[in-house]
Amino acid sequence: YAQYRGNIRPTISFPTDCDASKFNTPDFTEIPSYQGYLTANPNWIKTEISGYAEVYIDQVQAIKINGGPSDQQRAKLYIKEGTYDFTGVSFYLGKYVDLYLLEGATVTFDNTIAANALFDIYIAPGAKLIANGENGLIANSGARVYNHGTITCSKFEVNSSSFLYNVGTLTAGSVNAESNDSGIVNDNTINSTAVVVNAGAVQNNDMWTVSGTTHINSNNSGWVNNGHWTTGNYA
């Protein structure tokens, strides 16, 4: 897809989905719990994990993982099957951390957690992420969101080279792409009240329904529809 702007013909590239193995439930006989890892590594600060680690949680608890030093040494946090409401609970994941919502996990984040998500998120089939705070879910600073389950949020936004690859269902208020390198690819279902592409680009390959306005806002924006796009207004 090419977009013309005077004599300039920039190209728009879209992300691809992650490998399907990312959504497999791991063997937890080799992976400690968050609290077990802290106990087994007494040199760490007792309330947080710094650097590479691979841990799981099976209950609501305060979490702080700063992550590895680079994209090649990422920490991993698995949330097991169950219902988890982190509203009002301290929960921090750094930039080089992967969050996995495993099949059967339903996770609720409040505005403090979800409005500045620096970490990558993998949502397995049968898992749900809920973010109904004022600002919804904002993927920031290169965060990658791979949704094969369900996301429900008051608003969804990608910026600063972040992206969403949706193979499940996203239901949101306004869905926004805010920065030149940010993007959204939909391979299944998105339902939203509005779409605003201030920069970056969106690509729809299946069903995207907008009850209000689809607004492609600048010459740095891209809109590609290979599927069915229904919208109240298009600007």
pLDDT tens string 52-81:
999 999 999 999 999 888 998 999 999 999
Rg over alpha carbons for the chain, rounded to the nearest Å, is 18
Burial category of 138 from C-beta neighbours within 10 Å (exposed 0-12, middle 13-18, buried 19 and up): buried
Q: What is the pLDDT of residue 51?
A: 87
In the three-class reduction of DSSP (H, G, I as helix; E, B as strand; rest coil), residue 195 is classed as strand
pLDDT of residue 182 exceeding 90, the answer is yes
Q: What is the pLDDT of residue 4?
A: 41
Q: What average pLDDT is seen over the chain?
A: 93
pLDDT of residue 5 exceeding 60, the answer is no
Q: Beta strand pairing status for 183-186 and 120-123?
A: unpaired
Q: What is the pLDDT of residue 180?
A: 86
pLDDT tens string 15-46:
999 999 999 999 999 999 999 999 888 765 67
Within 10 angstroms of residue 73's Cβ, the number of other Cβ atoms is 11
CA pair distance 40, 71, nearest whole angstrom: 25
Across 158-164, average pLDDT = 95
pLDDT tens string 108-148:
999 999 999 999 999 999 999 999 999 999 999 999 999 99
Please give the structure tokens belonging to residue 70. Answer: 């680079």
pLDDT of residue 164 exceeding 80, the answer is yes
Q: List 223's β-bridge partners, or say none.
A: 202
CA pair distance 205, 211, nearest whole angstrom: 18
Q: What is the pLDDT of residue 47?
A: 79
